[in-house]
Amino acid sequence: MLKQLTLIFLLIIGLSSNATANEDKNTDQEDMGTITVEEESEARTLTHSPIPVSVIEMEKFHGRNISLNEVLKRVAGVKIRQEGGLGSRATIAIHGLEGKRVKVFIDGNPLNAPDGTFGINDIPIQLIERIEVYKGVVPARFGGDALGGAVNVVTRDFKENYIDLTASAGSYNTRRGTFVFKKNFDEQKMELGVGGFYNSADNNYEMDSPFVDGLKIKRDHDRFLSYIAAIAGSFKERWFDEIEFELVRYESEKEIQGIQTVIKKAKTKSRVNLLALAFEKENFFIDNLEFEYDIAYIDLTLNFIDKATTCHNFDGTTRPCSGAGGEVGDYPRDSDDKQIDLRHDLNLHYLITKNYGLNFHLNIQNSKYRPKDELANESLGYDIGAFPSEKTNTVMSLGLESSHLKGAIVNDFGLKWYRYDFEITSQERSLTGEPAQSQNDGFERGWYESIRYEALKDLFIKASYEHAFRLPDSEEVFGDGVTITSAPELQPEEADNFNLGVLFDRYDFHGLPWVKAEFNYFYKELKNLIKLEYGIHTAGYVNQGEVEVKGFETEVQLDINDHWYMYANYTKQTLKDVQKKLPGSNADNPTYNHDLPNVPKEFGNYGIEYKMLGVLRGDSLLKLFWETNWADEYFYGWELSKHQDRKIEAQVSHTAGFDYSFNQDLWIIGFEVRNLTDEEITDVFNYPLPGRTYHINVRYSWFET
């Protein structure tokens, strides 16, 4: 139940650079806001690198009340699967791989559970500089165990004395707010800042029951609340070029909404305390060697509270809950689970010559998990907390970056080593028996090669390959002590990822201020996929399945003139089961060579934006926008019969709105309507999303020039 949290906690006040969030270099932007016209931005440099990556610069969204997931779902090859409103479970899928197979990083630090307690969707976009979506090779400097895709959220770097305040409101009582105060102490060569955000939503929209014809369900137990507060500082020009510290407190509370049954009381709560230190030094003992080291201590507490003894029916009547109580499970819960994480992240970059660079990365994560639930113990008759566990994951990488032919060819080659070490308390067949300790460790080697060739000016050809692994996480290995058994024999998932792409990215092209067009073909082979398999009475994670992924995505972005910008993208993908025999059997696999169910096969987006200066005031900028998101229908189950109707229907949704900035961007006001035509939209089978919603945003940002 407990998901592993992490260094989400962003350098919320964004004091300085880190492994990936380098300062934007020499970026001059036009007044209209979105076009970088002179020297290359960090985002554009990354886009032109050998690896397949989409980069979304978030500046253009800072006036909007929009969530990070809303931004991500505009990206070619990316689907967001969300069960409800703000705070609901959401997974990110890149080229059909979703959930734990997509690694999420905050400023290069791995967030282990994108579908866990803390979602990146919590992070207000006003605190984000850009989002990097890696669609095949995950660069060595991240050090994570991504199987075939990753999202890196790069938080903003507030360089000057700075105040940034944002307040947002939306349908279903959705409220969001952020604050950042930053002060430089030049004489002391020190910076200090405080910041935080607040999210809350009732999410109380109405939906049709997927189980009972004609039954309307009011989602009246789906409230979400979270906040974060952080203080951070940095000291410069000591022996280290920079030393940073960060203290963070995060809390969240999420009610659990029933769909099949009524849930009135059950909820989860989480609390996180984080202490992080970071050290940076250029010319670390020798010239041209850059040193970066982060260490983080994370103390996470998770409560799952499900103590009701009176259960409710949809008709308003009540009944005693089954057994000793509980609305969600079959026994009451009042957990006080704790997890302690200690993380080390070391990056060394050595510039051998002007054209060769060597990068070494070491990431070590140690987690100790101590579940505790006395109420459940009493109900079940044994201590479910008697299954403590510890794991250490180590990912090490060594990469060689080089450029040739005056930069026309850029190559990136890397090796990765993965080591895992689990200490597991294995359940015996009789749950009341004495648990036995067991251990599982292993070692895997991966590698990647990516190359980019600038065949003509601004026309790039990219090719890349990665042999990647994903290590089993705590939930998969340890189970939950009750109905999900531990899985000491679980092996890492394995993937071979191949990408081939063409990119054209040019300013001033036949009268158009900017044109960017991209096509990418992708092919993946996946083995040892980890899946939760159900037995007669319990379940457990197993390695099962081989899958082949192939498809393509294509995207165009262009500035038509100083006023109009538009984009469109389209993705087609298939994921096939290529396991010929049933696991543990010589029997033919009935789903061999069939498309994996519950995976969108075709989807796309387009949008258009109009910008106008001097509306109402001479110092104002008005932006009007329209965005459309489309996905074709797909089956929920394996498509084996001609008599199947369980499917996620094709859907189209539109968003329209404006944002208006004035007084030299000191103020921005935004308004938008999502799902403008009030369509029935579903990302996850049986979990319809809200219909039409309205959102408003006000932002004040001041900085000392």
Partner 1 sequence: MWMKLTLGVLTLSMIFALLGCGDDGDSSKGSSDTGENPDLAVMIRIDDTTGFLSVLDGSSVTELTNANGTELYSGTAIYGYNGYIYTGGSMDNDNIAKYEVQDDNSLKRVAQTNVYESGGSIPTSFTFVNETKAYLPLAGIGQLIVINPTDLSITKRIDLSAYAMDTNGETGGSDTNPEPGDGVIRDGKFYLGLAQIDSFGTYACAGKASVLIIDVETDEILKHITDDRTCATGVLSPNPGFALDENGDIYLNNTASWGYGAGLSAGFLRIKNGEDEFDPDYFFSINDLTLDVPGGVSSYAYTSLYMGNGQLYTTLFIPGLTSDSPDYVNDRNYAPYVLDLYNQTATKLDMPATAGWATYLINYNGEVVYGMSTSDATGLYKAGATEPYITTEGSPYILTAF
Residues 291-330 that bind partner 1 (CB under 8 A): 309, 311-315, 319-325, 329-330
* Residue 685 to residue 677: CA distance in whole angstroms: 21
- Cα–Cα nearest to 614, from 668, 566, 661: 661
Residues 651-690 that bind partner 1 (CB under 8 A): 652
**CA distances for 350 relative to 57, 117, 356, 361, 399, angstroms:** 28, 37, 9, 12, 10
Q: Which residues contact 108 (CB under 8 A, 6 or more apart)?
A: 18, 19, 20, 21, 141, 142, 152, 345
- The minimum distance between CB 439 and partner 1, in angstroms, equals 14
Among 239, 642, 664, 705, binds partner 1 (CB under 8 A): 642
Residues numbered 597 to 626 that lie near partner 1 (CB under 8 A) are: 597-598, 602, 604, 606
Smallest separation, CB 502 to partner 1 (Å)? 7
Say which residues have a Cβ less than 8 Å from residue 495's Cβ, sequence separation at least 6.
147, 148, 466, 467, 468, 469, 470, 524, 525, 526, 527
Which amino acid makes up residue 77?
G
Q: Point out which span in 31-39, 102-110, 254-262, 278-286 binds partner 1 (CB under 8 A).
A: 254-262
Of residues 391 through 430, those in contact with partner 1 by CB under 8 A are 426-430
Scan residues 555-584 and list those touching partner 1 (CB under 8 A). Answer: 555-556, 566, 568-570, 572-574, 582-584
Distance between alpha carbon 148 and the CA centroid of its chain, in Å? 13
Shortest Å, Cβ 575 to partner 1: 10
Q: Which stretch binds partner 1 (CB under 8 A): 25-33, 131-139, 248-256, 376-384?
A: 376-384
Instruction: Identify the residue among 227, 498, 519, 658 touching partner 1 (CB under 8 A).
Output: 519
Applying CB under 8 A, which part among 43-51, 110-118, 286-294, 640-648 lies near partner 1? 640-648
Residue ranges in 207-246 that form contacts with partner 1 under rule CB under 8 A: 211-213, 215
Query: Of 22, 100, 107, whose CA–CA distance to 345 is shortest?
Result: 107
Whole-angstrom Cα distance, residue 623 to residue 176? 22
* Minimum gap (Å) between residue 521 Cβ and partner 1: 5
Could you say which of 169, 396, 539, 673 contacts partner 1 (CB under 8 A)?
A: 539
Query: Which of 472, 479, 657, 670 is the binder for partner 1 (CB under 8 A)?
Result: 479
Using CB under 8 A as the binding rule, whether residue 459 contacts partner 1 is answered as: no
Q: CB of 212: closest distance to partner 1 in angstroms?
A: 5
**Contacting residue, 45, 644, 663, 677, with partner 1 by CB under 8 A:** 644
Residues 60-119 contacting partner 1, CB under 8 A: none
How distant, in Å, are the alpha carbons of 127, 283, 386, 700 from that of 22?
15, 17, 45, 25
Q: Which is nearer to partner 1, 352 or 652 (CB)?
A: 652
Residues 6+ positions from 395 with CB-CB distance below 8 Å = 143, 144, 145, 361, 362, 363, 416, 417, 418, 419, 471
The footprint of partner 1 on this chain (CB under 8 A) covers a number of residues equal to: 104
Q: Which window, 441-449, 613-621, 630-638, 687-695, contacts partner 1 (CB under 8 A)?
A: 630-638
User: In this complex, which beta carbon is closest to partner 1, that of residue 215 or of residue 455?
Assistant: 215
Nearest residue (CB) to partner 1, 87 versus 488: 488
Interface pick for partner 1 out of 188, 260, 283, 663 (rule CB under 8 A): 260
Q: Give the distance from CA 364 to its chain's centroid.
A: 20
Work out which of 237, 457, 535, 618 binds partner 1, going by CB under 8 A: 535
**Among 463, 454, 361, 470, residue whose Cα is nearest residue 414:** 361
Alpha carbon 49 to chain centroid, angstroms: 22
DSSP string, 284-333: -SSTTEEEEEEEEEEEEEEEEEE--SEEE-TTS-EEEPSTT--SSSSS-E
499 binds partner 1 (CB under 8 A): no
Tokens 């105040």: give the residue.
163
Asked whether position 643 contacts partner 1 by CB under 8 A, the answer is yes
Comparing CB distances to partner 1, the nearer of 447 and 567 is 567
Return the number of the residue (324 or 364) whose C-beta is nearest partner 1. Answer: 324
Nearer Cβ to partner 1 (144/604): 604
CB-nearer residue toward partner 1: 353 or 432:
432
**Which residues are registered as beta bridge partners of 59?**
none
**Which residue in this structure is represented by tokens 């009732």?**
202
The least CB distance from residue 9 to partner 1, in Å, is 34
CB of 389 to partner 1, least distance (A): 13
Owner of token pair 């961007």: 665
Backbone angles phi, psi at 126, to 5 degrees: -65, -15
Give dist(CA 87, CA 89) in Å, integer. Answer: 7
Q: Tokens for 438, please give them.
A: 């067991």
DSSP-based three-state secondary structure for 503: strand
In the range 580-599, which residues lie near partner 1 by CB under 8 A? 582-588, 590-591, 593-595, 597-598
